[in-house]
Chains A and B, each alone.
Chain A
Amino acid sequence: MQNIVFGILTGSTLAVATVGFALVRQTEGFVNIAHGQYLALGAFLGLFFMESWGVSVFLAGFLAVVAVAVLGVVVARLVFDPVRERGALVLFFSSIGLAYALYGINQVVFDPAVRAYPVNFGKNIDLGSASITVGELVVIGIAAASVILLHVFLTRTTLGTWVRAVAANPELAEVRGVRVRLTSGVVWFIGAGLAALAGVLIGVLGTVHSEIGWANILMILAAAVVGGLGNIYGVIAAGLLLGLAMDLSTLVIPTEYRLTVAFAAIIITLLLRPEGLFTVARRKEEVA
């Protein structure tokens, strides 16, 4: 039972990290490896705001999310837009270069030593054979709220409709009057912001350290592949599932192999259902 609690915690933060990654992948058309470094930057900035400005963890997290979200838009304009016409591979390798650049900047600007958010998680709430702290409940709540807000944004707002239209067919969307450039900016803002939010949540739950971005991009990729790269809700479910699978796996296999579960999930998914577990594309094709 306790491992289920841990799995939900791991899965909820992974879902937040992956959904922003998938959103960018869908609308911008490439795999952004720098997403992990946006996550790291969010974690570092949140801690910086707390320690240097003395603000609460909630305000520090909010400021970190906004800062990284704005940075995501600026970097997209400066780094990705100029090479957009050269195709997805060039964008992909540009994102790797950007990831290394951000990694280096993080190392220089922030203290790379292991540090923790100065937060108190409060009392343990007894769940029978398991327990959860108040702080952990808040983390799960914030993760759930961010995903729900994203859903509302995508389905109930004009900008959200534009995002879905660009994701489906950018040329057609432009012909139909969708402001593609504005939409792209919104997607980068949300994607980088969600990465930063995940970074703050992961930092609060664990620690902030220099490798946090690289460590998480692998998990994000795993969740994205399992969920189906083109399916935002699929990757949310996959993030939760992977988190649960990794933490429950420790009941039957040594804990040091937990990450192996994520990679096994990638391999099995690519072999058996390469479009992802939750995508409906093939089913639609089969019906047609």
Chain B
Amino acid sequence: MPAVRSGMSLRLLSALLVVIAGLVFAACGGDDDGGSDAEGDSASKSITTADAGKASGKAVKIGLLTGLTGDYAPWGEKYVAATQVAADEINEAGGILGRPLEIVVADSESNLEGAVARWPRLAEVEKVVAVQGVESDGGVALLESAAEAQIPIICSVCGTPTLDERGGDYVWRMIGGDNQIGVALAQIALEHTKEASIMTEQGLETTEGISDIFESAFEKGGGDLKQRVNFGGDAGTFQAELEQAFGDTDQVFLASGLEPALRIFNEWQRRNYGGTFFAPPDWISPEVAKFGDGALEGKVFGVGQAFPEDSPAYKRFAAAYEAILNESPSSAFNEPPLYDGLIVLALAAEAAGKAEGKAIRDHLAEVANPPGKVVQSYADGIKELRAGNDIEYQGASGTIDFDEHGSVAALYAEVTPEDGDWKVTRTFEVDTSLQP
């Protein structure tokens, strides 16, 4: 046996371990140099929009703060394209109050730290009048910053239950939140089974919140929750978690980000667990639909927002979107809320008569909620507003009726992977009797 060689003392080694742990955790944190961009960096850029037409003067800036890297990166490009479609329409219609609209895109890195790090640049350097995009954790973290700066955020697809109570001041959203999505998921699960487990990625606002709501709704609906297994998204393996979750049932709601979900599917496939996963919007992505050459077909059922695909607004949006990305918006993703979010912000500025954060915030519900003349485009909206009429904007995502906390009740769709894409199998409304 090789002998022991004296080297660094163990005391020194202990100290070094602490240093290493710090360095390693810093590296694993994934936020890299996210905080450095206050001095300006490549983390934000402006979208080049179509000809501003009749618009002139100093541009009105609106931020798009979204995950172009990290867990939500698969959606980043789609969200940018959806926003660009709206920005093009706004500029072609003469801009906001006659001024061209400029979109400043910033990468939230799909996490709280990235969103918080990018905010000062958007608010103080770029001086945006509103922001859209932002994931749940970032949206919650920016609640107070947005209020202090008086810059409204449309946290486009934030599900976090925190906004059920705290939304509607300077943070709004274009969906109903996990209070609805979690219940919708439980409804889907109850259609398939009366026994299920939950696997929850720890430490994320969105995954923990939706798990609580799913659990409550599933049990209210007569379901028997077998296990609730928590895990760290950066764990080296998920063997034990899968074993626990699939121990008493083969029906599992997996509340996680995309990256852990893909790793879990791999181990699930390796161990031949079979059964069914129920999917939150967080990992309804092309990667999952294509996973293992269709290995998840018939084994995953998720929930997405249902959009009125036959409406003129949706058709116009879809055509313009396809012209940018050479692909149609997917039925299961959330591009339409991004498109509508920007148009609502612009209409609110028009209604207010000034492109300032507080004024925009004060008029958001006014241009979207009834009563008012129904309009389905920005051009029609400003025409009616300038004629002195109240409007009710109905966009590509359908009716937008903000409640007192700035959330929108939605129609939901059950989706499942098929031929490498997500297909809608049915649409349904949330059963409010199952809500917590």
Contact = CB atoms under 8 A, between A and B. Distances in A.
Interface of A: 2-3, 6, 9-10, 25-27, 29-31, 33, 88-89, 92, 96, 100, 103, 113-114, 116, 121, 123-124, 133, 135-136, 154, 163-164, 167-169, 202, 205-207, 209, 211, 214-219, 221, 225, 228-233, 247, 250, 254-256, 258-259, 266, 270, 274-275, 279, 281
Given A266-B17, A275-B10, A9 B5 contact: no
B243 to A, nearest CB: 5
A133 B3 contact: no
Interface string B259-271: 1001100110011
B239 interface: yes
Nearest to B266: A116
Given A168-B2, A205-B267, A211-B30, 18 more contacts: A6-B237, A6-B239, A26-B5, A30-B8, A31-B13, A135-B270, A167-B3, A205-B237, A206-B267, A211-B28, A214-B24, A228-B4, A230-B4, A233-B1, A255-B229, A255-B230, A266-B17, A274-B10
Contacts of A206: 236-238, 263, 266-267
B4 A231 contact: yes
Interface string B1-43: 1111101101101101100110110011010000000000000
A231 B5 CA distance: 9
B244 interface: yes
B248 to A, nearest CB: 13
What 7 pairs between A and B have smallest CB-CB spacing?
A230-B4, A250-B240, A168-B3, A6-B239, A116-B266, A274-B10, A207-B263
B4 A279 contact: yes
19 contacts: A89-B8, A114-B262, A121-B271, A123-B272, A135-B270, A164-B2, A167-B3, A206-B236, A219-B236, A230-B5, A233-B1, A255-B229, A256-B202, A256-B230, A258-B235, A270-B14, A274-B11, A275-B4, A279-B4
B135 to A, nearest CB: 18
A202 B236 contact: yes
Contacts, number: 146
A266 B10 CA distance: 12
Contacts of A217: 20, 24
A27 B7 CA distance: 10
Contact of B28 (A3, A113, A214, A266): A214
A259 B5 CA distance: 29
**Main SS class of interface, A:** helix
B230 A96 contact: no
Contacts of A27: 5
B308 to A, nearest CB: 33
B429 interface: no
Contacts of B238: 206
Contact of A221 (B20, B234, B272): B20
B241 interface: yes
B229 A215 contact: no
Contacts of A33: 20, 23
A198 B120 CA distance: 43
